[in-house]
Amino acid sequence: MKKILLTIFSFLLVFSLIGCSQKSTTKEEKVLKLGVVPSSNSEKLVDDLTPFAKALGDKLGMKVEVFTASSYIGVIEGIGSGSVDFGLVPPFSAVLSNKQSNTKNLLVGRSTSGKPGYFAEVFVRKDSDIKSIADLKGKKIAFVDPSSASGYIYAGAMLKDAGIDLEKDIQYQFSGGHDKSLQLLLNKDVDAVASYENVIRKYTKEFPTLKEDVKAIAKSELIPGVTVVASNNLDEETQKKVKQALLEIQNDKETIQILTNLFSITGFEEPNNDAYKAIEKISEKMNIDLNKVK
């Protein structure tokens, strides 16, 4: 009888220790999800960002996984629901998530110009007879995504300022990515595309003739930079840790170069929330209701 009881006790002790070990492992394996919009090929974007996520995770002491979706809205909804903890998102996406899900802007990215923002530009082929925005009337245009600041909202506002009715005076489509828009332009499937100022430098490797074949004809006002947005479901302590880790990681030349190559980000600084109000005004001009965008 004693042997039976001893055997039972031994099994209980072993299972108890296994259970404690599993709990400990689970606690150690906390994973943060970093969301990024599909501004280019999604699979490649995730692969390219993985070393950055690893470096960030090492600073935080927890694993960081990169997440993207088939659309900008998919990433915004993920951050809003809490299934994505924080994101590196374009400014319009930041404003949208602020409005709809009470997210918090932690940091804004500095561009290669040293400014906390960038510019939208409209591009055409150099062999085109299009010299200005006004010449786009009656033409085919590729925008990126309805939630893209440079790839639609600011560029669309420039067209409206030039007296062009987007629904009547042009034919347009959403390509789903800045690289896809460039491909349409080079293939002569469209006459113009909307994108951001450094897009030619960014995609010269994918499109070797880009610099020789494409030019910009118009530039927007300064747009707030790519923004680090935290989900309302992410606890304040972790938000602070993420913010501090990013401020530290900007001094690591090799790691920050990843963000420079992908998003033209050379560092981070405190966001100026007044700058985002300009996006709200541009959205009104584009007849976009921030509370209803889905």
pLDDT in tens, 205-262: 999 999 999 999 999 999 999 999 999 999 999 999 999 999 999 999 999 999 999 9
Examine the pLDDT at 12 and tell me if it is beyond 90.
Answer: no
Taken in order of first residue, the domains within the chain and their CATH numbers are 29-116+224-285 (3.40.190.10), 120-220 (3.40.190.10)
DSSP the chain: -HHHHHHHHHHHHHHHHHHHHHHHHHHHT-EEEEEE--SS-HHHHHHHHHHHHHHHHHHHTSEEEEE--SSHHHHHHHHHHTSS-EEEE-HHHHHHHHHHH--EEEEEEE-TTSSSEE-EEEEEETTSS--SGGGGTT-EEEE--TT-IIIIIHHHHHHHHTT--TTTT-EEEE-SSHHHHHHHHHTTSSSEEEEETTHHHHTTTTSTTHHHHEEEEEE-SPEE--EEEE-TTS-HHHHHHHHHHHHHHTT-HHHHHHHHHHH---EEE---GGGGHHHHHHHHHTT--TTT--
According to the model, what pLDDT value does residue 25 have?
42
pLDDT in tens, 38-50: 876 778 889 999 9
pLDDT in tens, 146-202: 988 999 999 999 999 999 999 999 999 999 999 999 999 999 999 999 999 989 998
- Higher pLDDT pick, 276 / 18: 276
According to the model, what pLDDT value does residue 293 have?
80
According to the model, what pLDDT value does residue 183 have?
97
The pLDDT of 64-87, averaged and rounded, is: 92
